[in-house]
Structure 1
Amino acid sequence: MSEITPDLVRHLGVLARIQLSDEEVERLTGQLDAIVDNIAKVSEVATPEVLATSHPIPLENIFREDVPGEMLTVAQVLQNAPDRTDDRFRVTAILGEEQ
Protein backbone atom coordinates (compact mmCIF):
# COMPACT_ATOMS: atom_id res chain seq x y z
CA MET A 1 0.00 0.00 0.00
CA SER A 2 1.37 3.37 -1.01
CA GLU A 3 2.12 5.85 1.77
CA ILE A 4 2.55 8.76 -0.62
CA THR A 5 -0.64 10.04 -2.20
CA PRO A 6 -1.18 12.85 -4.71
CA ASP A 7 -2.98 14.82 -1.97
CA LEU A 8 0.06 14.48 0.29
CA VAL A 9 2.35 15.67 -2.51
CA ARG A 10 0.09 18.68 -3.14
CA HIS A 11 0.13 19.45 0.61
CA LEU A 12 3.94 19.23 0.69
CA GLY A 13 4.05 21.58 -2.32
CA VAL A 14 1.91 24.11 -0.44
CA LEU A 15 4.13 23.85 2.64
CA ALA A 16 7.23 24.36 0.49
CA ARG A 17 5.51 27.17 -1.42
CA ILE A 18 6.03 25.33 -4.69
CA GLN A 19 3.28 25.42 -7.27
CA LEU A 20 2.98 21.93 -8.80
CA SER A 21 1.15 20.98 -11.97
CA ASP A 22 -0.94 17.79 -12.06
CA GLU A 23 1.80 16.17 -14.15
CA GLU A 24 4.45 17.05 -11.56
CA VAL A 25 2.23 15.77 -8.74
CA GLU A 26 1.84 12.40 -10.48
CA ARG A 27 5.59 12.11 -11.19
CA LEU A 28 6.59 13.17 -7.67
CA THR A 29 4.07 10.80 -6.09
CA GLY A 30 5.83 7.83 -7.70
CA GLN A 31 9.31 9.14 -6.98
CA LEU A 32 8.62 9.95 -3.31
CA ASP A 33 6.89 6.60 -2.84
CA ALA A 34 10.00 4.82 -4.19
CA ILE A 35 12.20 6.84 -1.82
CA VAL A 36 10.04 5.94 1.19
CA ASP A 37 10.12 2.24 0.18
CA ASN A 38 13.93 2.32 -0.11
CA ILE A 39 14.29 3.98 3.28
CA ALA A 40 12.09 1.26 4.77
CA LYS A 41 14.36 -1.42 3.23
CA VAL A 42 17.45 0.22 4.70
CA SER A 43 15.74 0.46 8.09
CA GLU A 44 15.10 -3.30 8.02
CA VAL A 45 18.82 -3.98 7.54
CA ALA A 46 20.07 -1.45 10.07
CA THR A 47 20.59 -3.43 13.27
CA PRO A 48 22.71 -2.90 16.38
CA GLU A 49 25.29 -5.34 14.96
CA VAL A 50 25.87 -3.11 11.91
CA LEU A 51 28.05 -0.15 12.79
CA ALA A 52 26.93 3.22 11.51
CA THR A 53 29.28 4.90 9.05
CA SER A 54 29.29 8.46 7.85
CA HIS A 55 31.80 7.81 5.08
CA PRO A 56 33.10 4.59 3.48
CA ILE A 57 36.71 5.76 3.53
CA PRO A 58 38.38 7.05 6.71
CA LEU A 59 38.94 10.79 6.47
CA GLU A 60 41.63 12.91 8.04
CA ASN A 61 41.88 16.65 8.19
CA ILE A 62 44.77 18.35 6.43
CA PHE A 63 45.39 21.60 8.22
CA ARG A 64 47.09 24.60 6.72
CA GLU A 65 48.09 27.86 8.27
CA ASP A 66 45.32 30.46 8.12
CA VAL A 67 46.92 33.40 6.34
CA PRO A 68 44.76 36.40 5.37
CA GLY A 69 45.03 37.37 1.71
CA GLU A 70 44.14 40.44 -0.28
CA MET A 71 40.80 41.86 0.85
CA LEU A 72 38.10 43.72 -1.07
CA THR A 73 37.31 47.30 -0.17
CA VAL A 74 33.83 48.20 1.08
CA ALA A 75 33.15 49.94 -2.24
CA GLN A 76 34.08 46.79 -4.19
CA VAL A 77 31.88 44.62 -2.00
CA LEU A 78 28.86 46.90 -2.34
CA GLN A 79 29.26 47.84 -6.02
CA ASN A 80 26.63 45.32 -7.22
CA ALA A 81 24.37 45.42 -4.16
CA PRO A 82 20.76 46.04 -5.22
CA ASP A 83 20.10 48.06 -2.05
CA ARG A 84 22.42 49.44 0.59
CA THR A 85 22.50 51.85 3.50
CA ASP A 86 25.77 53.54 4.33
CA ASP A 87 28.39 50.80 4.23
CA ARG A 88 25.98 47.87 4.66
CA PHE A 89 23.74 45.65 2.58
CA ARG A 90 20.05 46.42 3.01
CA VAL A 91 17.77 43.37 2.98
CA THR A 92 14.06 42.77 3.39
CA ALA A 93 12.93 41.81 6.88
CA ILE A 94 12.06 38.12 6.94
CA LEU A 95 10.46 37.85 10.36
CA GLY A 96 7.79 40.47 9.80
CA GLU A 97 9.37 42.86 12.26
CA GLU A 98 9.70 46.51 11.34
CA GLN A 99 13.05 48.02 12.17
Structure 2
Amino acid sequence: MENHFASQLKKLRTKQGFSQEDLAQQLFISRQAVSRWEAGTASPDLNTLIKLTQLLDCSLDELVFAQPASEPQKTKATSMNFWEFIHLDWWLVFAFGGFFIWMLRAIVRLFS
Protein backbone atom coordinates (compact mmCIF):
# COMPACT_ATOMS: atom_id res chain seq x y z
CA MET A 1 0.00 0.00 0.00
CA GLU A 2 1.32 3.37 -0.93
CA ASN A 3 1.33 6.34 1.39
CA HIS A 4 -0.54 9.25 -0.23
CA PHE A 5 -0.59 11.39 2.89
CA ALA A 6 1.04 14.54 1.48
CA SER A 7 -1.28 14.89 -1.52
CA GLN A 8 -4.37 13.81 0.42
CA LEU A 9 -3.69 16.33 3.19
CA LYS A 10 -3.57 19.21 0.74
CA LYS A 11 -6.64 17.98 -1.15
CA LEU A 12 -8.76 17.46 1.96
CA ARG A 13 -7.54 20.68 3.58
CA THR A 14 -8.57 22.79 0.59
CA LYS A 15 -11.84 20.86 0.29
CA GLN A 16 -12.71 21.87 3.87
CA GLY A 17 -11.64 25.46 3.17
CA PHE A 18 -8.71 25.53 5.60
CA SER A 19 -5.48 27.36 4.89
CA GLN A 20 -2.23 25.95 6.21
CA GLU A 21 -2.32 28.61 8.92
CA ASP A 22 -5.91 27.70 9.93
CA LEU A 23 -5.06 24.02 10.18
CA ALA A 24 -1.89 24.78 12.15
CA GLN A 25 -3.84 26.88 14.66
CA GLN A 26 -6.43 24.13 15.14
CA LEU A 27 -3.66 21.58 15.80
CA PHE A 28 -1.51 23.96 17.92
CA ILE A 29 1.50 23.59 15.63
CA SER A 30 3.38 25.87 13.24
CA ARG A 31 2.31 26.58 9.67
CA GLN A 32 5.73 25.33 8.56
CA ALA A 33 4.96 21.89 10.02
CA VAL A 34 1.82 21.65 7.87
CA SER A 35 3.87 22.82 4.88
CA ARG A 36 6.48 20.09 5.50
CA TRP A 37 3.72 17.45 5.74
CA GLU A 38 2.27 18.57 2.41
CA ALA A 39 5.73 18.56 0.84
CA GLY A 40 6.29 15.03 2.11
CA THR A 41 9.44 15.87 4.06
CA ALA A 42 7.87 15.18 7.47
CA SER A 43 4.98 13.23 8.95
CA PRO A 44 2.73 13.91 11.93
CA ASP A 45 2.52 11.66 14.96
CA LEU A 46 -0.45 9.37 15.59
CA ASN A 47 -2.34 11.75 17.88
CA THR A 48 -2.05 14.53 15.32
CA LEU A 49 -3.24 12.18 12.56
CA ILE A 50 -6.35 11.40 14.58
CA LYS A 51 -7.00 15.12 15.14
CA LEU A 52 -6.52 15.71 11.41
CA THR A 53 -9.14 13.10 10.53
CA GLN A 54 -11.59 14.83 12.84
CA LEU A 55 -10.86 18.30 11.44
CA LEU A 56 -10.90 17.19 7.81
CA ASP A 57 -13.95 14.93 8.32
CA CYS A 58 -12.37 11.84 6.79
CA SER A 59 -11.16 8.41 7.81
CA LEU A 60 -7.55 7.55 8.54
CA ASP A 61 -7.51 5.24 5.50
CA GLU A 62 -8.68 8.07 3.28
CA LEU A 63 -6.10 10.48 4.68
CA VAL A 64 -3.08 8.17 4.54
CA PHE A 65 -3.85 5.68 1.75
CA ALA A 66 -6.38 7.64 -0.37
CA GLN A 67 -8.94 4.86 0.11
CA PRO A 68 -12.51 5.54 1.11
CA ALA A 69 -13.36 3.88 4.43
CA SER A 70 -16.22 1.91 2.92
CA GLU A 71 -13.93 0.18 0.42
CA PRO A 72 -12.94 -3.15 1.95
CA GLN A 73 -9.38 -4.36 1.79
CA LYS A 74 -8.90 -6.86 -0.99
CA THR A 75 -7.16 -9.98 0.22
CA LYS A 76 -5.45 -12.43 -2.03
CA ALA A 77 -6.71 -16.00 -1.89
CA THR A 78 -4.00 -18.36 -0.76
CA SER A 79 -3.73 -22.07 -1.28
CA MET A 80 -3.47 -24.28 1.75
CA ASN A 81 -0.47 -26.52 2.16
CA PHE A 82 -0.47 -29.84 4.02
CA TRP A 83 0.70 -28.41 7.34
CA GLU A 84 -1.94 -25.70 7.34
CA PHE A 85 -4.53 -28.39 6.65
CA ILE A 86 -3.27 -30.45 9.59
CA HIS A 87 -3.25 -27.33 11.75
CA LEU A 88 -7.00 -26.91 11.24
CA ASP A 89 -7.71 -29.72 13.74
CA TRP A 90 -8.26 -32.51 11.24
CA TRP A 91 -5.81 -34.53 13.29
CA LEU A 92 -8.52 -34.83 15.95
CA VAL A 93 -10.39 -37.21 13.64
CA PHE A 94 -7.48 -39.63 13.87
CA ALA A 95 -7.12 -39.18 17.62
CA PHE A 96 -10.79 -39.84 18.29
CA GLY A 97 -10.80 -42.70 15.77
CA GLY A 98 -7.90 -44.37 17.59
CA PHE A 99 -9.59 -43.85 20.94
CA PHE A 100 -12.86 -45.33 19.61
CA ILE A 101 -11.10 -48.42 18.22
CA TRP A 102 -9.21 -48.91 21.51
CA MET A 103 -12.45 -48.57 23.50
CA LEU A 104 -14.28 -51.01 21.20
CA ARG A 105 -11.48 -53.61 21.60
CA ALA A 106 -11.55 -53.18 25.38
CA ILE A 107 -15.31 -53.75 25.49
CA VAL A 108 -15.05 -56.83 23.25
CA ARG A 109 -12.27 -58.26 25.48
CA LEU A 110 -14.36 -57.54 28.56
CA PHE A 111 -17.29 -59.64 27.32
CA SER A 112 -15.32 -62.50 25.78
* TM class by smaller structure: under 0.3
Structure of larger gyration radius: 2
Question: What TM-score, normalized to structure 2?
Answer: 0.23
Query: Larger relative contact order (C-alpha < 8 A, sep ≥ 6)?
Result: 2
Question: What TM-score, normalized to structure 1?
Answer: 0.25
